[in-house]
Amino acid sequence: MKHLSSVHWLVTGFLALAVGPGSAQPPAAVQRPVAIVGVTVVDGTGRSPQVGATVVVREGRIVAVGPVDQVSIPADADRIEGRGRYLIAGLWDTHVHLSALGRAGLPDLVRHGITSVRDLGGDLAAVRQWRDEGERGEWLSPRIRLAGPIVENAAWLARVRGLGVPGLSRGLDERIPVETEADAIRAVDSIAGLQVEVLKIRNAPRAAVYATLVKAARARGLLVAGHQPSRAIGLAAALAAGQRSIEHIEGLDELMSLPAGQRDSLARAYAAGEVWITPTLAASFGRFVPDSVTEARVVGTSGDPDLALVTPALRDFWKAQRELKAYDAPLEAYRTMVVGGLAGVRLLRAAGVKLMAGTDLGVLTLVPGASLHEELGFLVDSLGLSPLEAIQAATVEPARYFRQADSLGTVEPGRLADLVLLGADPLADIRNVRRVELVVLRGRVVWSRGRERP
């Protein structure tokens, strides 16, 4: 059987995996103010860094940002020395599959400065429970924004179910097949009833059904995320329908196949239409890692220290993905799509289209937390973003996507206090986002250097 998909081992996120063990202490009942003193603030707005600033947090929000001699520090505040350090807003990973990671891995996301995630499909009941536990302070977890069950082209789903891969059917049964416009309406009604924010389309149905699906989702207040629809639908139709974000770069090679004038016009229309691109470069580039290296990481013999972050659930998920590799696109064909996709994203970005940082956590062999840091480096090195633009792709742009830029994404008074203290300047080198010294989540210091795990 020929490959059925060119992206990420065929069916990223298809399994509902067991929750791994883990522990985290709930926060104290009384939330004391926090004052970070003398820090350099990279606030994410585009303004110049504020050197020698004090940031005060009270009751979960930032209440003051300003020069040390102009900010009053509450007498009962926990003071944190910020001299020689850099403060940014909490990071987002906007493309994760948390049920592949398991509950035990959530604290490690926080440890890497990831304070919010957009989960794009998996075991909804489990992830919803983890989200609620985090919000109640029962478990250390990023803020979790949820998509409903993944919507699939019914014919594609039937073919994949026929592959007979062990363990595959359980995850696929959670997905919603759509073939007709009536199916599309029913799918939207079902997903809207789950009180989620995002409808995720993976393999789009035919054009008329796709348009109905997206229109109905938007009418119910759902943000539509999905892979670039098939060439039979095309990028112009995705824009016209109102898809809010396009995930991965591979399908964006379509843009480069258009006549120059047409592609430039379409790029400008995308910028005007408020569509975000989530390139997931770490996942795409992982396809080019030699099989021997990938296998060593899967079985845990590579010696990579980051593998200590791999939960049993995630390792089992990686092992399941190996069974699907034979159905993936040939490597050179995939390379052509990636090269064309990179060119397409550069063109869209030049026109003003915004990017979001996401990893596709769950894919071979992305490590929780560390892969988001790697993604930010790829945004700079492969797409030409400045370090500030890469930081914004992981802070303010996701907040704008969710229409919450007045609450999240920047270091400003009135914003929710999700903050990351870095030991080196991320504007000098984006790789300094790895130098996490301390994390504030929901207004509390939940991790600091010297503690191996949150």
Q: Which residues have C-beta within 8 Å of that of residue 47, sequence separation ≥ 6?
A: none
What is the predicted pLDDT for the residue at 162? 80
The percent of residues above 90 in pLDDT, for the chain, comes to 81
What is the predicted pLDDT for the residue at 29? 54
Nearest to 374 by CA among 269, 280, 243, 303: 280
pLDDT at 4 exceeding the cut of 50: no
Higher pLDDT among residues 181 and 162, named by residue: 181
pLDDT at 442 exceeding the cut of 50: yes
What is the predicted pLDDT for the residue at 19? 30
pLDDT at 451 exceeding the cut of 80: no
* 28, burial (CB in 10 Å: exposed 0-12, middle 13-18, buried 19+): exposed
- 17-59 pLDDT, tens digit each: 223 333 344 444 568 999 999 999 999 999 999 999 999 999 9
* 112, burial (CB in 10 Å: exposed 0-12, middle 13-18, buried 19+): buried
The rounded distance, in Å, linking the Cα atoms of 353 and 373 is 22
The rounded distance, in Å, linking the Cα atoms of 180 and 206 is 9
What is the gyration radius of the CA atoms in the chain, in angstroms? 21
In the structure, what pLDDT confidence band is assigned to residue 329 with cuts at 50, 70 and 90?
Answer: confident
pLDDT at 271 exceeding the cut of 90: yes
pTM comes to: 0.91
- Fill in the DSSP letter of residue 224: E
What is the predicted pLDDT for the residue at 64? 98
Domains and CATH numbers, the chain: 90-408 (3.20.20.140)
Give DSSP secondary structure letters for 79-126.
EEE-TT-EEEEPEEEEEE-HHHH-GGGHHHHHHTTEEEEEE-SS-HHH
Side-chain-side CA neighbours of 430 within 13 Å: the count stands at: 22
What is the predicted pLDDT for the residue at 452? 46
pLDDT at 252 exceeding the cut of 90: yes
pLDDT at 5 exceeding the cut of 60: no
- Mean local confidence (pLDDT), 126-135: 96
- 80-117 pLDDT, tens digit each: 999 999 999 999 999 999 999 999 999 999 999 999 99
pLDDT at 328 exceeding the cut of 80: no
Mean pLDDT of the chain: 90
In the structure, what pLDDT confidence band is assigned to residue 76 with cuts at 50, 70 and 90?
Answer: very high
